[in-house]
Structure 1
C-alpha cells in the first residue's frame, strides 16, 4: 500500500477502513453480477438510483469525478438501500484519501489485487476478505500488533474438518477477526449438506437441509466477537458475501464485556491473540485467574462457554503447553479434567510466517467425551504443504491430510467408546504420533502438554524384554570439529559423517580416521537432531555427531540403531537449536531381547530394507526416456505443437457449459497422469484461467513447480475442455507428435536445467519464458516409432507403480517388527 503512504495516508486504521469500504463496494457489485447471471429479475443492491454506482462504472472515472462519486456513494448507499448490514457498514463513512490521483490509483490497485486473489481461489473454500487482509498485513508490517495476525486458510480448514460441524449446532469465534473460521465452517456445512449432483456443478444449495434447518443455519448458527472496529467490519463483510447477510457479529471485547453472560455454544473455533495483556481491573469477573495473559483468559472463556456436549479447536502459543506459572498450570488442569482435552497437534514454527515465527499448537477438546478419555493423542505436524520461510511457497511435503485422518479416527473411537487409538497411530506413524495416559500427565501437578516430555521409553513401555539404558550398553563419545578446509588439506578415502541426512550423512573424505569398528552415531544438534545411523569400518565424525560403542556383548549394534531410530528423536530438546546431547542419550532405555533374538530381528529387517532400497532406487531413477536415433528429424516444439492455444476456439460454446478445472495443486510431479477433481462453468473461468483441451500437455512454468517437474497430459476432461492455473504453459500436439512424446522431452533433466537458467522475474517468483519452450529442439521419431515408445513407457510405469506399493508394504513390516518387541 505504498501508494497510500505516498499519498499522505499513514494511519493503520484509516488505511484498513478505506480499503474495507472499496473492497466491499466491489464485492457487492460482483455479487449483483452473479445474481443477474442466474436470474435477470433478481433483486440487486445497485439498481434504480444506485445503479450508477456499480464498481465497473467507477473504474472509468477520472480522479476528480471519482472522488465526488465515492462521497455520493457513501452518503446515499445507507439512505437508499434497505439492507441493514450495508446501512451499518456505510453509516458515517467518508472518503479519507484526499489526494485524488492517489484515490484513483488505489481503486485500480484494488481491482487488480482482488482479481488476482479470485484467480488463486481455485478450491470451493474461498475467503477473499481473509486473503486481502493477509495482503494488507504483509504491506503494513504491523502483523504482530496486539498479537494479531491472520490464521492461514489451510490451518483453519484443518481445524474445521477435525471438529466437523453439524446441522443445528451453534458456532462461536470469540476473536473472529476477518471471520475466517466462521466462513470455513459455513463452507464445510455447505459441502456436507448439498447433494452430489449439485456439487458436481460446483453448487452448494444445502438441499439436504429442511427449510427450518436452513433458517437456523443462516440466522442462529454463527456468532463472532471482536473488539477491533476494523476487524468487526471485515468479519461482517466477509460473512455477508458468503450468504450470511445478517450475521451475528458483535463488536465486544470477549475478556472484558461478557461478565454475567451464561450463553453456551456447541462449537468454539479460535486463534485468539497471543501477545496481548489486558488491564487486570478490566477483566471480566468470570474469567479472573490471577493473570493478564490473553491466551489463558480466552481459553478460560471457551471452557466456561462450551455446552456440555460441545467441542473446540483452538490455536495456542507454546507457553500454554509448558509454562510453569500458576495460571498456566491451572488452565491446563481445567483442559484435562473439565474440558475433555483429547488431542494436541504441534505445528511447525514457520506456519505464521512472514507475520510471526511464533511456535504454536492446536488443542482439541470435547466435553461430551471427557469421561471416556484415558489417553491424549499427541501429533507432530512437521510439514504443512508450504515452505516455512517468508515466501510460503507450495512444497510436496504435507502431514496435515494424514493427521486429519488419524484425529478423526481417534475422536470417533472416543465418542463411540471404542478404541481407535492403534489405527490413529498407524495412520500417522509412530514416529510423529503417540498416546500419553491422562493420569501420567496429571500426576506431576504441572499438567505439561508437551508430548515429548513423557516419551521416555513410551514406545516400549509394554515390552516383554527388560529395558536397559544406553549408558549400560555403550560408551558414549563425540566427533570433532572438521571443516571443508581440513578435508581439502588432507583428502583421502575415509568418510566424514556430519549432521546432514543426504548421502548417508557424508560431509567429505579424509586421509585419516578417528573411529574403527562397529558404532552407532546420531546427530546431536540442529534440524536433524536425533537421527540415528549404523556405522562400521574406518571413519570420522564432526562435532555434531555423537557415537556409541558397545561395551557388552549383549547388544547387536544394528539392532540398537533400529531401536533408537524409533525413539531417539522424541528425546530431542527443542528450546532454541534442537539438541540431543550425550547426557540425554545416556538415559534413554531400549528393550534388550536375548542376542539370538536381536540377530533374528536384524536379519529380518535387513531383508526388508534391501527390498525397500532396491524399490526406492527404481522409483527414484526411472524417467520416461527416449533413445535418440540420429536419423530422426530435428524440430522445434513450435514446429510440431501449438503453444498456448487461443480461447477464440471456444467462443461459440454456451457459457453455462461445464468444463474441467485443474489448479496447480492437482498437477503431479514426474507423472503425466493426474486426476480431474473439479468442474466449473465456462463463464466462471474463461476470463482469467489458462485454456486447454483433451491431450494437451500442461507445463508448470513458475518456481518451484517447474523445477519440481510439475507437468501432465490432460485427459478425460468434462466436455473435452479444461481450464487451470494461469501459470501453465499449454503444449498442444499436432498430428505429427504424440502427447506422451512431448511429456517425455519436457521431463528430461536437460530441459529442466536449461529452463532454470532462462527463468525471468525477481525474488522468489520466477517463470520460464514461453519462447524458451517454443524454441526447444527435439528429435522427432516417425509416428509408428512414437507409438512403440509409448507402449514401452506404459509397461515401465506399471512396474514403477508396483515398486512404490512394495516400499509402502515393507516399511509397514519394519514398523510392525519393532513394535512387536
Structure 2
C-alpha cells in the first residue's frame, strides 16, 4: 500500500516543478525520467557493494552517475547542463537494457532554472530502489494526477471502472492479455493484480464498500516462479504515443515486469501485429478521430475512418476462438445510425461476439469530460450459446456525477457485476431460465428484436420503451403523419449580417437575437436539429408565436391541428429520449428523416386538451414559484445612524491554505475554494461555521460553510476573526459589497487583495440588530426553499401526466 511519506515526496516533486512545468502530464514525465535515472544508479551501487561492477553508468557514461550530478564542487548551471545532457543521451547508452533505453527515448529537460532542478533532484534523491510493491503503488499514485489527453479523445479511466471490467472478464494465469490503446497500462496492471489474487476459478463476488469493486493487494504467493514468469510474458500493450509508452514501461517495470511488452504501435494503420490473437482484450480506446479520419488498411471487417469503430472491430477480430473482451465506447457506437456504426453493431451481433452492454453514468469521466459511455462485453464462446443480450444500466458508481466526483453511498457496480456473472453462469450451464439478476435495470433482449429495422440499436431504453409501447392504449403515429415540416422556409443569418430589430431570431435552443425582419407569422412548434440536447427533459421542443425568424438549426413543424395540439406535441417530445434518433458524430443531428420517423401516442383531441390543461395548471404553479426563487436576494437596509468603519476593523480576512488535489484524503471536512465546496478532506483546518469568498479566478462569491470544521483553499479568502459579530450577518455584509470590482483588471487571472478589501468602508449595526436581520432573512429563505421544493414536486407531476399517456 502507498504510505504517506512516499505520497509526500511525489507531491513535493510536483509542487517544485509546477512553476516551470505547469502541465500535469509533463510533470509526470519528468518525475518518471528522474526516478528511473536514480534507480539505475541505485542498482549499480547495489552491484558494487556485492562485489560486482556497475552495469549502467560506465565508460563514457560514467560521468553521468547520480553521485556526479550531486558533486558539491559543481555549480547550479553545471548541474543543469550535465543532467540535461545525460537524459538526452541516455537512450544511446548501449549498457542499458532496451527497456531503459526506450524510457529515455526523446527525453529532454523542458526548463533551464538551476534552483528548480536542484530542489527537484534533491526530492528524487529521497527515493531508493528496492524490489517492493511500494514503488508500483507510488507510481500508480503519480499517474493518478493525469487527466484528459483531450486532443486525442483519451480520458483516464477511473480505477474502479477498470477493476469492474477486469472482474467481469476474470482473466486466468495462462491467458494472453492485450490492451491495444494502453495509455499508462492501467488495465494491464489491474488484470495482473487480479490474476495473482485469484490464480484460478471465477472471481469471488465483490464486497460492496460503497465505492469500489476492486480487489486486494496480494503478491501471488500461490504461484510458482515459472508461473509468474509466464504471466509476465502474457501481457501486451500498444500505444501510438511515445510518452504513454514510456509511462507504461515504467509502470509495468515497477510492478515486477522486468521486460514488459509495451510497443509504440499504431493499432489502426499498421499490419505488423495483425496476425496476433489474444484470450483477453481490455481497452478504453480514443473516442476522437483526426481531421479527415483514420486511414486504415483494408483488413478490417467494418470499413470506416472512425477510430472508435475501428478499435472495437480490431478487438473483436483479434480474440482467440474462446476469447473475451471489454471495451469502453462512446454513445455513438450504441445507437447512431451512420453506416459504419450500424455495420459494426450488426457484425458484433451476427458473428456472435456481443453478450452484454453496461451503460455508465454520464459523469464517470468527470472532471475531464461529461461524455456518455457504455461498456461492450464480448465473449465468442458465450455469445454462441444464447440468442439474448444482457443490458445493465449503472446509475451510480460510488461517486456523485459532479465535477469533483465526491464519494457517495450508492454504488450499482457490485450488483451489476453479480448480475453479469449470473448471466454468464446461466448460459454456460445451459440453463438461461435460472438467471436471476440482482440489479433492477437488467434487461434481456433477443438478437431478433435488435435486428428489427436493421438498426441493431444497443440502447436498453429504446427496447424498454418498445416493450411498453406494445401495450399502448392509444395508437402510435409518426410525426411525419402528424405535422407539416416547413424547414425549406428557414433562412440563417450570420451574426455580422443581422440587422437589429424587434422580431425574435430562433435557433435550436430558443431565441438567439432580435432582427429587423421575420419569416413566420403563426404559431408553430420548433425542434432542435443540431446544437441542441435531446435527452429527457432537455426542452428541445418549444412553441414560437407571432412574427419571428428561424435559422437552419431548428426544425419548423406545423401540427395538423385536427389530429394533434401544439402543446401536447411539445409536452410529449420534451419528455422523450430523442438521442435514439440522432445521427452524425462530429456534429450530432436530428435529421428530417429521423424526425419524421418519431412515433408518439395519439389520444383523441379531447383527451389531449385535458392533458394539456392539467400540464398548464402545474406549469402556472412552477412559473410562479420559479419567479419567487429567481427574484429573491437576501438584503438589508442600511440605517444612517449605524457607524461606518473600514471592513478591516469589523473582521479579518486571511488567505486560504495550499492543498494540492493529489493530497486530498477522503473525509468529511469540506474544502472550500472560490466557487464553494470543491472536495472533502480528512484533516480539519478552521473551526466552523465559516465565511469564505473567492480570492483568485472567480472572485466576489461569498459562501457560508455550516460545518464543524472546514479547509479554506488557497483560491479563497476566509474570515479568520469575526470579532464578536454574527457570522451569518458577516456573510450578508460581504455579499452587499462589490468585491468583484476590487479584482478587475489586476492581472490575467483576477485576484482579490485582502488589504484592498479591508479598506472598504461599511456600516455595521449593533449585534442585536445583526441577529434580527439574520432571523428575518432566514424566514424569507425558508419560504424560498419551500418554493424550490414546490418546483420539484410539480415538475414531477408534469412528468407523471406524460407517463400516463404511455401506459395502459
Which TM-score band (shorter chain)? 0.5 to 0.7
Measured in 2, the distance between the counterparts of 1:642 and 1:377 equals 54
2:519–2:550 Cα contact (<8 Å) kept: no
Match of 2:688 in 1: 694
Are residue 556 (structure 1) and residue 558 (structure 2) matched?
no
Q: Which moved more, 1:727-736 or 1:156-165?
A: 156-165
1:761 lines up with 2:747 in the alignment: yes
Q: CA deviation at 1:340?
A: 1.7
- Name the CA distance, whole Å, in 1 between partners of 2:393 and 2:665: 47
1:782 aligns with 2:766: yes
Which of residues 700, 723, 738 is equivalent to 1:751?
738
- The residue number in structure 1 matching 2:248 is 235
Residue 61 and residue 788 in structure 1: after superposition, are their counterparts in 2 closer, same or farther (change >3 A)? farther
Q: Deviations over 1:178-230 (max 9, x none)?
A: 2355678999999x999989x9xxx9998797985999999969955136665
- Total equivalences in the alignment: 692
Report the counterpart of residue 429 of structure 1 in structure 2.
none
Task: Return closer, same or farther for 1:590/1:740 CA change in 2, 3 Å cut-off.
Answer: same
User: What are structure 2's unaligned runs of at least 5 residues?
Assistant: 1-24, 42-61, 125-137, 198-204, 423-434
Per the alignment, residue 237 of structure 2 pairs with 225
Deviation at 1:63, TM superposition (A): 1.7
> Do the aligned partners of 1:224 and 1:248 also contact (CA within 8 Å) in 2?
no
The alpha carbon displacement at 1:508 in A equals 3.9
State how far apart, in whole Å, the 2-side matches of 1:188 and 1:623 are: 55
CA distance in 1 between partners of 2:27 and 2:520 (Å)? 68
State whether structure 2 residue 355 is matched by structure 1 residue 340.
yes
Match of 2:550 among 531, 537, 542: 542
Give the equivalent residue in structure 1 for 2:6.
Answer: none
Q: CA deviation at 1:411?
A: 7.0
- Partner of 1:163 in structure 2? 165
Alignment of 1:591 with 2:601, yes or no, is yes
**Residue by residue, what CA displacement relative to the aligned partner does 1:24-48 show, whole Å, maximum 9, x if unpaired?**
4259989x9xxxxxxxxxxxxxxxx
> Which residue of 2 is the match for residue 432 of structure 1?
none
Which of the numbers 629, 638, 643 marks the counterpart of 2:648?
Answer: 638
Residue equivalent to 1:179: 185
Distance in 2 (CA, whole Å) between partners of 1:489 and 1:248 is 68
Listed one character per residue, the Cα deviations across residues 599-627 of structure 1 (whole Å, up to 9, x for unaligned) are 22223222332333333334333443333
Cα deviation for residue 159 of structure 1 reads: 4.4
Q: TM-score, normalised by structure 2?
A: 0.64
Q: Which has the higher helix share?
A: 1
CA 1:617/1:352 → structure 2, altered by over 3 Å: closer, same or farther?
A: closer
TM-score, normalised to structure 1, is 0.63
Residue 732 of structure 1 and its aligned partner are, at CA, apart by 1.9
Deviation at 1:465, TM superposition (A): 0.6
- 1:4-403 equivalence runs, <5 A: 20=29, 23-25=32-34, 61-68=75-82, 90=100, 102=112, 104=114, 107=117, 128-129=142-143, 149=152, 151-153=154-156, 156=158, 159-160=161-162, 163=165, 165=167, 173-181=179-187, 223=235, 225-226=237-238, 230-238=243-251, 244=255, 246=257, 249-252=260-263, 264-265=279-280, 269-271=284-286, 298-300=311-313, 302-303=315-316, 305=319, 312-315=326-329, 324=339, 329=344, 332-333=347-348, 337-343=352-358, 362-365=374-377, 367=379, 371=386, 373-374=388-389
Q: Deviations over 1:56-97 (max 9, x none)?
A: 9999951214444677899999x9xxxx9x987646988999
Summarize the Cα distance change of 1:658–1:565 in structure 2 as closer, same or farther, 3 Å threshold. Answer: closer
CA contact (8 A) 2:519 2:547 kept: yes
Q: Does structure 1 conserve the Cα–Cα contact (< 8 Å) formed by 2:328 and 2:375?
A: yes
- Secondary structure at the aligned position of 2:486 is classed as strand
Change (3 A) 1:410 1:210: closer
Contact residue 232 and residue 251 of structure 1 kept, 8 A: yes
The 1:327–1:534 alpha-carbon spacing in structure 2 relative to 1, beyond 3 Å, is: closer
Deviation at 1:237, TM superposition (A): 2.8
Preserved CA contact (<8 Å) 1:206 1:214? no
Cα distance, 1:580 vs structure 2: 4.7
- Give the match's secondary structure for 2:634: coil
Give me the whole-angstrom Cα distance separating, in 2, the residues matched to 1:345 and 1:289. 25
Q: Are the counterparts in 2 of residues 223 and 248 from structure 1 also a CA contact under 8 Å? A: no
In the alignment, structure 1 segments of 5+ residues that lack a partner are: 1-15, 33-48, 115-123, 144-148, 386-394, 426-434, 649-654, 683-690
Question: Kindly tell me: are residues 744 and 537 of structure 1, through their superposed partners in 2, closer, same or farther at Cα, counting changes over 3 Å?
Answer: same
Q: Deviations over 1:260-282 (max 9, x none)?
A: 866534865544996666667xx
Segment of structure 1 superposing worse, 588-597 or 86-95: 86-95
Shift in alpha-carbon separation, 1:22–1:692, aligned structure 2, 3 A = same
CA distance in 2, matches of 1:60, 1:352: 44
Change in 2 beyond 3 A, CA 1:547/1:418 = farther
Cα-to-partner distance string for 1:669-716 (whole Å, 9 max, x where unaligned) = 5xxxx6973215x9xxxxxxxx6443332323344x447x47342632
* Structure 1 residues 185 and 496, CA gap change in structure 2 (3 angstroms): farther
Q: CA deviation at 1:738?
A: 3.0
CA distance in 1, matches of 2:544, 2:288: 52
Q: In the alignment, which residue of structure 2 is the partner of 1:729?
A: 717
Q: Structure 1 residues 152, 754: CA separation in 2 closer, same or farther (over 3 Å shift)?
A: same
Structure 2 CA distance for partners of 1:172 and 1:509, relative to 1, 3 Å: same
CA distance in 2, matches of 1:372, 1:562: 37
User: Structure 2: how far apart are the matches of 1:21 and 1:485?
Assistant: 47
Rounded to whole Å, the distance in 2 between the matches of 1:179 and 1:270 is 12
* 1:296-316 deviation per Cα after TM superposition (whole angstroms, max 9, x unaligned): 664355445489795613246
Give me the whole-angstrom Cα distance separating, in 2, the residues matched to 1:773 and 1:193.
54
How far, CA to CA, are the matches of 1:215 and 1:632 in structure 2? 82
The separation in 2 between residues aligned to 1:259 and 1:768, in whole angstroms, is 58
Is the alpha carbon distance of 1:462 and 1:23 closer, same or farther for their aligned partners in structure 2, counting shifts above 3 Å?
same
